[in-house]
Amino acid sequence: MPDQDVEITIRPMDIDDLAPAYHLGEKLFTLSAFPNLYRIWDEYEIIDFFHDSSDYCFSAFADSKLVGFLLGTVIEKTKKRKYGYLVWTGVDSDFGRLGIASQLFDAFKELCVEEQVSMIIVDTQADNYTAIDFFTSKGFGDAQDHVYLTLDLRRDDDPRRPVREGE
């Protein structure tokens, strides 16, 4: 258990944070029960976010250890409407329920307000109850169902299966 007096700091993500954030994400998103079906957590994901929208990426530290991060972006759908999209956020489970994800979210939200974003969107797996509780606690609602279908292209009898080298 972390010391309750541990000092938590939130700041914009820095290049030195990419490796520890990537490894934390590996623990949370690839080894956990909640992989995101349509986004894959790999090193390109965090590098792309940092490259394309670093203003909307934040890191959380407990003393000097990176214990959380948030990767977001802002999408301009039409000239009039901007949407904030919180794509990945995660906190080291040893530091859970200390308000760290809340502080990361507040930093992202504050920036969205400054940017005159009209709505923030998040998505998560339907059985990721922790994330749903977290987002609900931040005021999110109006959950929409979204159904993913899959077509397994490795099935031999599937006529659309691409022919692989050597076949």
Ligand X SMILES: CC(C)(COP(=O)(O)OP(=O)(O)OC[C@H]1O[C@@H](n2cnc3c(N)ncnc32)[C@H](O)[C@@H]1OP(=O)(O)O)[C@@H](O)C(=O)NCCC(=O)NCCS
CB of 32 to ligand X, least distance (A): 6
Rank residues 127 and 152 by Cβ distance to ligand X and give the closer one.
127
Rank residues 57 and 100 by Cβ distance to ligand X and give the closer one.
100
Q: Which secondary-structure segment (H or E) carries 49?
A: helix 43-53
CB of 138 to ligand X, least distance (A): 7
* Residue whose beta carbon is closest to ligand X: 101
Binding stretches for ligand X (CB under 6 A): 28, 34, 88-91, 96-102, 124, 128, 130-131, 133-134, 137
DSSP string of 79-131, one letter each residue? SS-EEEEEEEEEE-GGGTTSSHHHHHHHHHHHHHHHTT--EEEE---TT-HHH
* Spatial contact of 86 and 108, defined as CB atoms under 8 Å apart: yes
Rank residues 124 and 161 by Cβ distance to ligand X and give the closer one.
124
